[in-house]
Structure 1
C-alpha cells in the first residue's frame, strides 16, 4: 500500500443545491472507487482521503459553483502517527489491516480517526473552515421585520444582538425592540415599543416580506439576512431557516435536518435564524400574540404546519443559550391538538417532549410477516413473543418458510397451525428475502403489514401499538422501531442514506439511552429509511409502490429502497423510540462471502446507481456530518 493521502479544501455557493461532492478514483484494470465528500456548514469543507498506488485519475462531481481551493499531500506514516495519537485502538486496527493487506479497512480506520471530529471538538473544526460568504448576487429588495423582546435581559446581551444586526450586509430590515432602555438604539430602523399581548401576530410583521424573532444575545453572521433573503426570493417558501451554534464562549453547533415537521413540533429545532413569510402569517388563525416569553414558542408551533420550507445548511447565528420552552410547548401543543380533535397527546420523559399517539379504535388487523428457515431457537422465540407477549388485540401471523427441514421447526409449525391467527406459507425457491416478504404480503389480510425478522425478540408488550399508531397516519409510509443488540446497545435508530457508503444505521452500538443530536432519538421523527427487521406499513401503501424490488435487491438494500420509493410517492418514513425490540442482526444468515459477497456488491452498486442523489444528500442528515463513522460526527 504505497499510495498517498491527499487533503482537499473546497467551497460551494451558499445557495447551491445541498449535495455533497462525489469523488471518483479511476484505478488500474477499470476499477473505480467512489467517495461522497462532506458538505459545507461554514465557509468551506476539508476532506482527507487515500489515493492508492494504482490510481490513474481523480474526478470530482461538485456541482455548479464548486471550487477546489487547495490540494495537499500527506504521507501514510504521518497519517498513522496522527491516528496513533488520537485513537490508539483505531491505529492498532489499522495496523492489523495493513498486515493482512486489507486496504479498505486500513484506509477507513485511519480516516475514522484523522478525518472526523466529534461535535465536542467544534471550535477547532470551525476555525479551519472560515465563515459563510456573501450571496453570489444580491437579492431584490426583500423587506425583513424582526422583533426582540428584551424584558429581563442584560444590556450587554441586547447590545451584542443589535451590533450584529446593524452590521448586516442586507440593509432592508426593521426591528421592534421592547423592554430595553430608551438610549440603547441609535439606528432609525430600530423602533422602541412596548410589548402588546393583545396585538395580532400579523401586525408585528407590518408590510415586510419576512418576519423573524431574535433572542437577546443572538449574533447573526454578517451575511445572514442577505443569504436568507436571497433564498426566499428564489423559492418563495412559507418558512426559511438556517443552522446555529450555541454558547457565548465555547459554542457547539446545532446542525439541523431539512424540513422535518414531526421533529420540529416537539423539539423546536428551528431555533434561529428562522424567517416566516408574511403570506404564511396571514393564513394563520387570528389570535393575540400573548406574553412575550411565550410568543416565540407559539409561532414555532404554527410553523410546524408549513409545507413549503427551505433549509439553508449554513451556520448563520450564534445564540448565547438555548431557551428551555418545554413546559410552554407542551401546554400549547396539548391545547392545539385538543382543539383539532387529534387524539395524540404530549408526553414528557427525562426532559424530552414527545407525542403519545394511541392505537386507533377499533384496532385494525395487523399481519406480521416473518421470512424464516430452520433455526428453531429463533422462530420459537419470535412467534411466542408475537402471540403471547404482545398486547395488540388483532394479529395475523404469516410465516414464509424457505424450505425448513429441522424436525423441531416442523413440529412447531404443526402446533402453530392449530392457532387460527397463524398461516405457514411455503416458499420453496432459492433464498430471496425480498420475494419472501412479497409472498407474505400477497396473502396478508391485515390493513397494516409488519415485516419482522426471525431473530427479533419483543421487549415491551406495547411495541405494536406504537407502530400502528404511526402507520395509520395518512402522510406516513414506513414506520421503524428502536432495536437493541443483545447487550442492550443501539442496533437501529433509523437509516442514513450514504452512511458507510450506501446506507447505514445511525449511532449503532451506542448506549440505548443516547439522546442523539437535537435530542431526536428521544422522539418519533422523520428519517429517510428504516430496516425491515421491524417495519410497519399500510397494506395499500405497500401495494401502491409495488412492494419490495425482489429482482434488483434480493438480499440487501430492499428495505431502504422500499422506503425511498414510498418517499418518492409522497409518504414519509418515521422512526419511533416507543416500539422497542431486541435484534441479533442477521444471526441466521451470517456474514457474506464468496458468491454472497459478490451478490452484495452487485446490489450495492444497483442501489448507488438508483439513489445517487439521496446518497449525496440525505435530507434528514446534515451535509457537514460525517458519512465515515456511524456517529454524528463532523467531517
Structure 2
C-alpha cells in the first residue's frame, strides 16, 4: 500500500507555510531573492531531513516501548498458546520470483521464527532464472518439513504463482506474504488468538509498516476496523491478510488479469462472499514491507497498471453486489486510490434543507444564495428555523427569501437550543432526505448536494457528512473521532487545519470512508432514519454534542455513517455560537459532557474507525503513548517478583 505522507501533518503544514512566507518575501524583494535564497536552500534541505528523521525516531521509540516482546511477554504467549483448544494450521502462501538472496533468506527465516508452531510455508517459484533461488528454497525445504516448495515450469506472473502456492496449502487459514517481506515473531500467534476469540471470522487483517535493508522500521499504517467504503478506495486488508482456506477455494483464489492489484481484488471478493461481520482487524503491526535501498520503485507505467487493475476490481465488485451505474474515478489529491461515483437517482427525492439562525443576515444570505443559486439539485425546499431574530436587515432578508425562492421561515423564539430548532423544523419538512445546515456554510461547487444525497440513499448508510473548509482553504472537518477533547473526551474533528492540498495520512482526508460521527454543520440523512431514532435530544443536549449523539444512535440502529469528501463547502466554525468553556457556558457544557459520558462511555472510548495505537490528543496521525490496545496475552503475564531490599536500604 503506497503511502501519501511520511511526516506528521503539523510538520508538513509548518514547512508549507514557512515556504509560502519565503516565497512572498522573495517576490517583494527580487534583489534579495537572487542573493539570499541560494544561501538558504542548502540550510533548509538538511533541516527538513532532520525533522523527518526525528519523526522516524519517534516511531522507533514507539516500537521499542510498545512492541518489543520482553521475556514475560514470551512466557505469557507460550502459556496462552497452551490453553487454546483449537490450534489451526496457518499456511503462509509466498510466490517467489528472482528475489535477492539476502531478502529471500530473511523472509523465510521470519516465518521459521514464529511463536505459533502450527504453520506451513507454501512457496511457488515462478520459474526464476537466478540460480540462487532454487538453492535457497531447496535448503529451506530440507531444513523444515513445514516448508513446501514447487517450481513452476514457465513464468506465469503473480496471480498464477500465488495460485500454485495456494494449491500447496493444507491449513485451515491462509496468510499472504510477499517474497522479500518480513513477519514479526508474534504474527501468526496473533492470527490464531483472533480466530480463538472470534471463531466465526473468515478474513483477518492487521496494521503494517515498512522495513529497510537494515531492519529499520518506518511509515506505519494504523488502520481502522473493517470499512467497506474504504476498501473500495484502497486495499484496506492488504498485509498481513489472512483468509479461511475454504473461503479462498470457494471464490477461486487469485484471478488472472488483476496483476498488481490481485490482493485488492481478492479482498473485495472475499469480504463480499463472507459479509462484513466476519471480517476482523488486529490493531497491531504484523507485517513489514521491505523497502530495498538502491532498487528502483514502481515505474509510472507499472503504477498505472496497478491502479487500473484496482479500478476494474472495484467495478467488478460493485456489479456483483448489484450496484448499477457506478463509475470509478481517481481520488482527488491521491490518484493512486479510487473514488466511486454512485448513480444519481432518475427521480431525485425532495430534500429539505434546515438552517437554524438568529440574525447574522450577511452570513445567512451567503448560505441561502449558495444553496438556491449555486447548487445543482432539482428538488429542494429551504426551511429557516428563526430563533428570535430582531435586526431589520434579517427581517428584510426573510421577506426577500420568501418572495424570491419560496423559503419558509419558522418563528421559534426562546433560549438557544440547537436540537429543538432542528426538531421543530423537521416536523414541518416534506423531504425524503433532510440536510441540516449551519447558517455559516458557503457553497463551493454545485455538486455537493447530489453527492450527499446519493450516499444518503444507499442501503445501510445513515448520516453523511461533508468535507468542510475554513475560509482560507484549510481543513475544518472530515469526520469526528470519538474519545477526543478536553474536558470529557467526547469527540473532536479529524484533520483540523490541514492545508487544502494535503490528502492526509493514507489519503484519509480525500477518500470516502466510514466514521462514527459527522458534524450537523452539514449533515444529510434520510427522514425515515430520523423518525426511527427520534431526532436530536433537545432535553439533554441543547447545544453541544447533539450531532455526535444523533450519529451514535443512528449507528446503534444498524447504519454506517459516512464522510463524503466530494461534498466540499466552506464553514466559518462557531461564527454564531460562543466558546463552550466561557464562564457563562461552562456549567451547561459540562452537563452535556456528563450526558454523553453516561450514555455512550464505552462507545466513546473505542472508536472503531480510529486505531488504538493513534493518539487521542492530536488527530494527525501521532502515536499513542501508551497504546490503548489490549494484547491477547495480557491475562497470562506473570509479574517478576520484587527483589529483596539490600542491607543498605534496610538500614
Partner in structure 2 of residue 278 of structure 1:
245
Verify: 1:430 aligned to 2:411, yes or no: no
Distance 1:203 1:319, change over 3 A: closer
Of 583, 598, 618, 1:629 maps to 618
Q: Is the 8 A contact 2:56 2:218 kept in 1?
A: no
State the Cα distance separating 1:206 from its structure 2 match: 4.7
Partner in structure 2 of residue 29 of structure 1:
none
Verify: 1:230 aligned to 2:193, yes or no: yes
Greater shift, 227-236 or 572-581, is seen at 227-236
Tell me the distance in 1 between the aligned counterparts of 2:252 and 2:411: 56
* Higher relative helix content: 2
Partner in structure 1 of residue 313 of structure 2:
332
Tell me the distance in 1 between the aligned counterparts of 2:108 and 2:198: 28
Verify: 1:137 aligned to 2:80, yes or no: yes
Tell me the distance in 1 between the aligned counterparts of 2:402 and 2:342: 34
Verify: 1:417 aligned to 2:398, yes or no: no
State the Cα distance separating 1:327 from its structure 2 match: 2.7
Partner in structure 2 of residue 372 of structure 1:
357
Distance 1:361 1:563, change over 3 A: same
CA shift digits 1:428-475 (9 cap, x unpaired)? 232110111111211111111110000110011111011111111111
Greater shift, 194-203 or 232-241, is seen at 194-203
Partner in structure 2 of residue 156 of structure 1:
102
Of 113, 134, 146, 1:182 maps to 134
> Secondary structure in 1 aligned to 2:431?
coil
State the Cα distance separating 1:493 from its structure 2 match: 1.0
Q: How does 1:238-253 map to 2 (within 5 A)?
A: 238-248=202-212, 249-253=216-220
| TM-score, length-scaled by structure 2 | 0.75
Q: How does 1:280-319 map to 2 (within 5 A)?
A: 280-284=247-251, 288=255, 293-305=260-272, 306-307=275-276, 308-319=278-289
Q: Is the 8 A contact 2:438 2:520 kept in 1?
A: yes
Greater shift, 179-188 or 423-432, is seen at 179-188
Greater shift, 554-563 or 296-305, is seen at 296-305
Tell me the distance in 2 between the aligned counterparts of 1:176 and 1:292: 20
Tell me the distance in 2 between the aligned counterparts of 1:202 and 1:622: 32
Greater shift, 141-150 or 194-203, is seen at 194-203
Tell me the distance in 2 between the aligned counterparts of 1:357 and 1:201: 37
Partner in structure 2 of residue 477 of structure 1:
462
Tell me the distance in 2 between the aligned counterparts of 1:434 and 1:338: 40
Q: How does 1:215-614 map to 2 (within 5 A)?
A: 215-236=178-199, 237-248=201-212, 249-284=216-251, 288=255, 293-305=260-272, 306-307=275-276, 308-321=278-291, 325-338=306-319, 340-349=322-331, 350-351=334-335, 352-419=337-404, 421-500=406-485, 501-592=489-580, 593-614=582-603
Partner in structure 1 of residue 627 of structure 2:
none
Q: Is the 8 A contact 1:395 1:421 kept in 2?
A: no
> Secondary structure in 2 aligned to 1:158?
helix
Tell me the distance in 2 between the aligned counterparts of 1:409 and 1:280: 63
Q: Is the 8 A contact 1:481 1:578 kept in 2?
A: yes
> Secondary structure in 2 aligned to 1:230?
helix
Q: Is the 8 A contact 1:369 1:452 kept in 2?
A: yes
Distance 1:229 1:201, change over 3 A: farther
Distance 1:554 1:279, change over 3 A: farther
> Secondary structure in 2 aligned to 1:219?
coil
Distance 1:292 1:403, change over 3 A: closer
Q: Is the 8 A contact 2:614 2:622 kept in 1?
A: yes
Q: Is the 8 A contact 2:160 2:254 kept in 1?
A: no
Greater shift, 327-336 or 552-561, is seen at 327-336
> Secondary structure in 2 aligned to 1:478?
strand
State the Cα distance separating 1:201 from its structure 2 match: 9.5
State the Cα distance separating 1:152 from its structure 2 match: 4.2
RMSD value over aligned CA atoms?
A: 2.5
Q: Is the 8 A contact 2:420 2:536 kept in 1?
A: yes
Verify: 1:191 aligned to 2:144, yes or no: no
* Higher relative strand content: 1
**Larger Cα Rg: Structure 1 or Structure 2?**
2
Q: Is the 8 A contact 1:197 1:290 kept in 2?
A: no
Q: Is the 8 A contact 2:467 2:563 kept in 1?
A: yes
State the Cα distance separating 1:221 from its structure 2 match: 1.1
State the Cα distance separating 1:369 from its structure 2 match: 0.6
> Secondary structure in 2 aligned to 1:390?
coil
Tell me the distance in 2 between the aligned counterparts of 1:502 and 1:166: 45
Extract unaligned runs of 5+ from structure 2.
1-53, 292-296, 625-651
Tell me the distance in 2 between the aligned counterparts of 1:199 and 1:146: 11
Tell me the distance in 1 between the aligned counterparts of 2:323 and 2:481: 34
Distance 1:287 1:516, change over 3 A: closer
Q: Is the 8 A contact 1:313 1:623 kept in 2?
A: yes
CA shift digits 1:458-499 (9 cap, x unpaired)? 011111011111111111100000001111111101100111
> Secondary structure in 1 aligned to 2:242?
strand
Q: How does 1:4-153 map to 2 (within 5 A)?
A: 121-131=58-68, 133-134=73-74, 135=77, 137-138=80-81, 139=84, 140-153=86-99
Greater shift, 379-388 or 313-322, is seen at 313-322
Q: Is the 8 A contact 2:60 2:217 kept in 1?
A: yes
Q: Is the 8 A contact 1:199 1:289 kept in 2?
A: no
Tell me the distance in 2 between the aligned counterparts of 1:122 and 1:421: 57
CA shift digits 1:567-616 (9 cap, x unpaired)? 11100111011011011111112224233221011101211221111222
| TM-score, length-scaled by structure 1 | 0.77
Tell me the distance in 1 between the aligned counterparts of 2:63 and 2:161: 43
CA shift digits 1:477-527 (9 cap, x unpaired)? 000000011111111011001112221011201112322222221210011
Q: Is the 8 A contact 1:246 1:254 kept in 2?
A: no
Q: Is the 8 A contact 1:495 1:529 kept in 2?
A: yes
Distance 1:199 1:488, change over 3 A: closer
